[in-house]
Chains A and B, each alone.
Chain A
């Protein structure tokens, strides 16, 4: 196909087909504009997911490992995260990192958007929880979110279907939280528990973190993309964008990208929307250098890549002297937000979420125990294994990370991907506030496990391989000096360039971010639709 025809100017070019790119594509489709999304990864075939294979536990550690530096697939770009105690996790495919996510789907709280006003730290967002509320609901409706209505830790909202199983594991923890007088609630979960939009309900296969072979987990490839494609959006896979190009007037003209064979193309567009996540987006913006924007596009504030927030993560594992079931979605069951809102007496500001997750399968149980020197050789092997398998409950601590300019994504001077495009480099350190919060969370986690009857607890945090929430590197705000995009996602510098992923987050909240990322993406898409007549003024 002739390049000119193939890359014919489109109205909207979306870069990145993950959680946010998919939501925006779906929303804008109704405008009838010519919309094209370019994605560096391919479609993933659910029939190839590890849980369809006998060695599913180990297969999940290879091509579905959470680190791109381990997977090293064609779609992956290496990330230099040596200068960070937390390594970056992602997935590069249609659906983006939602291919691997746990689908734990708690919303940000109203207070998360008013951090400066309430606690005197960081900055307020230019939008509020209540601005996003209709888009949270719309997103829940679109992708199917299971949960239990009436959570007193949030303004009232009603999940679209009944919750995922608590199991005896969840009941054990629920009783413990009740005994302590702490908040807990069945988690909102982006997993369908009844048939929804042509997808079948969850069958409790369990290994959601290496892809859901049933399509019950609402990853973007099975939730938004099929609908967006039917509505006319085009999706070009296996194409990696090198840079966003600009014209003499300083407006974005499109993007230069490499196709599957490494051939360079230019895709012209009236408007460019970046949705490459909190690391991929600043990388692309910083790589988009031109005489007009020598420090990268949209970067007059100097803040592109800065204020990276990663949600330092801790885990408390409780070991029980009786079996606790582990059937159900592995990463989403219930949460506690007892310590979510600020209480100055704790020695830190802001707070954290506790997320209960299920134990491991037999292979990973045995390997971990052997590695720790706990599982012996010889006659005692079976007795010890029995005491470890199906007897653990995990409690994850998700700590609100506050923005700091020193925590950042820059371009690595040497490392490149297979197309020769400079890779991102992560420079990150844990703040004192985050450290205190994490320690507090680990101690409370132990308390909860002990209340639940655990005979032993093991704590770890911050976990290195847990940089799965990538936020803050192209923050939104009203002031062009202190933010990269305005309050509806448009670059202050380039009036036809938008960012819609977690990069725009002003603060990180203390929960998994994807429901909020998608609500923000839908909000920005809505703003675009409302302003079409004078969008670039």
Chain B
């Protein structure tokens, strides 16, 4: 059997479309070094889409092409070559004409982003699944019930 995929959308993105994807990821979540936050282009969104959003993944190339075409119409340049501000403006137009594509991309992006080790650490978590270690939890001050006790029983008598 040939190893050539039967449909083009099974192919990884071309280099140029990867650049477009990275460029859009960067405007969804840019880096903020002061907080230790990487940009979304630095986390494995591409891989995540492949593994977890196969329905969407199949449409990605066409949609990124459309985004790039839109950049060309507005600025006569590839999307990836635009400034952050210009990219935002192109995306804004596309959010009106084709809202589903970018809304879904943003949702999948934050989903992947907030599972990344660096991001988890930056938001104050350990980069691991919750189990088996769990968390140290602060028990709290149970003497706060005193005023409730002082008001006495409130259950309704039936007999």
Residues of chain A touching chain B, judged by Cβ–Cβ distance below 8 Å, are: 49, 51-58, 109-111, 113-114, 117-118, 128-129, 148, 150, 152-155, 163, 165-168, 170-171, 174-175, 177-178, 181, 183-186, 202-207, 213-214, 325, 327-328, 337, 341-342, 361-363, 365-367, 370-371, 375, 377-379, 381-382, 385-386, 389-390
- Which of A55, A129, A214, A378 is within 8 Å of B30, CB to CB? A378
A-chain residues with CB within 8 Å of residue B113 when the two chains form the complex: 366
Chain B: minimal CB distance from A510 (Å): 12
B-chain residues with CB within 8 Å of residue A58 when the two chains form the complex: 52, 111
Query: A183-B154, A341-B154, A378-B27 known; A165 and B137 CB under 8 Å?
Result: yes
Please determine whether A185 and B145 come into contact, CB atoms closer than 8 angstroms: yes
B-chain residues with CB within 8 Å of residue A385 when the two chains form the complex: 123
B-chain residues with CB within 8 Å of residue A185 when the two chains form the complex: 145, 148
- Which of A56, A152, A202 is within 8 Å of B149, CB to CB? A152
Q: Count of A-B contacts with CB under 8 A?
A: 177
- Which of A56, A148, A183 is within 8 Å of B142, CB to CB? A148
Chain B: minimal CB distance from A200 (Å): 10
Chain A: minimal CB distance from B32 (Å): 5
A-chain residues with CB within 8 Å of residue B158 when the two chains form the complex: 110-111, 113-114, 117-118, 128-129
Please determine whether B145 and A167 come into contact, CB atoms closer than 8 angstroms: no
Docked CA distance A186–B139 (Å) = 11
Chain B: minimal CB distance from A80 (Å): 25
Please determine whether B124 and A390 come into contact, CB atoms closer than 8 angstroms: yes
Please determine whether A377 and B88 come into contact, CB atoms closer than 8 angstroms: yes
Docked CA distance A366–B28 (Å) = 12
Please determine whether B120 and A362 come into contact, CB atoms closer than 8 angstroms: yes
Please determine whether B131 and A341 come into contact, CB atoms closer than 8 angstroms: no
B-chain residues with CB within 8 Å of residue A375 when the two chains form the complex: 110
Please determine whether B145 and A153 come into contact, CB atoms closer than 8 angstroms: no
B92-133 interface bits toward A, Cβ cutoff 8 Å, 1 = contact, 0 = none: 000000000000001100110111000110011100111111
Please determine whether B114 and A327 come into contact, CB atoms closer than 8 angstroms: no
- What are 25 contact pairs spanning A and B, CB under 8 A? A54-B115, A56-B129, A56-B130, A57-B115, A152-B148, A152-B149, A152-B154, A153-B154, A155-B155, A163-B142, A171-B140, A171-B141, A181-B147, A181-B151, A203-B135, A205-B133, A206-B130, A206-B135, A327-B137, A328-B137, A341-B156, A377-B106, A378-B84, A378-B88, A382-B32
A-chain residues with CB within 8 Å of residue B67 when the two chains form the complex: none
Report, nearest first, the 8 A-B pairs whose CB atoms are least far apart. Answer: A166-B140, A203-B134, A366-B110, A362-B114, A327-B135, A213-B131, A165-B137, A174-B144
Q: Which bucket holds chain B's interface residue count?
A: 35 or more
Please determine whether B154 and A53 come into contact, CB atoms closer than 8 angstroms: no
Interface of B is mostly: loop
Chain A: minimal CB distance from B128 (Å): 8
- Which of B111, B131, B138 is within 8 Å of A165, CB to CB? B138
Docked CA distance A363–B123 (Å) = 11
B40-63 interface bits toward A, Cβ cutoff 8 Å, 1 = contact, 0 = none: 000000000000100000000000
- Which of A168, A204, A206, A366 is within 8 Å of B140, CB to CB? A168
Docked CA distance A206–B128 (Å) = 14
- 19 further interface pairs, Cβ-Cβ under 8 Å (given A363-B111, A385-B123): A150-B145, A153-B154, A153-B155, A167-B139, A174-B145, A183-B151, A183-B154, A185-B148, A203-B132, A204-B137, A205-B135, A206-B130, A325-B137, A328-B137, A362-B125, A367-B111, A377-B88, A379-B32, A389-B123
- Which of A148, A203, A337 is within 8 Å of B133, CB to CB? A203
Please determine whether A214 and B107 come into contact, CB atoms closer than 8 angstroms: no
B-chain residues with CB within 8 Å of residue A379 when the two chains form the complex: 30, 32
Please determine whether A178 and B134 come into contact, CB atoms closer than 8 angstroms: no
B37 at the interface (CB under 8 A from A): yes
Docked CA distance A57–B114 (Å) = 10
Query: A52-B132, A327-B136 known; A381 and B30 CB under 8 Å?
Result: yes
Q: Which of A111, A205, A214 has the most CB of B within 10 A?
A: A205
Please name the residue on chain A nearest to B128 by beta carbon.
Answer: A54
Please name the residue on chain B nearest to A179 by beta carbon.
Answer: B147
A-chain residues with CB within 8 Å of residue B129 when the two chains form the complex: 51-54, 56
Chain B: minimal CB distance from A222 (Å): 14
B80 at the interface (CB under 8 A from A): no
- Which of A52, A153, A154, A361 is within 8 Å of B131, CB to CB? A52
Docked CA distance A361–B126 (Å) = 12
Chain A: minimal CB distance from B105 (Å): 10
- Which of A53, A163, A367 is within 8 Å of B110, CB to CB? A367
Query: A148-B145, A166-B142 known; A110 and B155 CB under 8 Å?
Result: yes
Please name the residue on chain A nearest to B117 by beta carbon.
Answer: A54
Docked CA distance A54–B132 (Å) = 12
Please determine whether B107 and A370 come into contact, CB atoms closer than 8 angstroms: yes
Please determine whether A152 and B156 come into contact, CB atoms closer than 8 angstroms: no
Please name the residue on chain B nearest to A128 by beta carbon.
Answer: B158
Q: Which of B30, B88, B106, B115 has the most CB of A within 10 A?
A: B115
Please name the residue on chain A nearest to B150 by beta carbon.
Answer: A152
A-chain residues with CB within 8 Å of residue B37 when the two chains form the complex: 382
Chain B: minimal CB distance from A165 (Å): 4
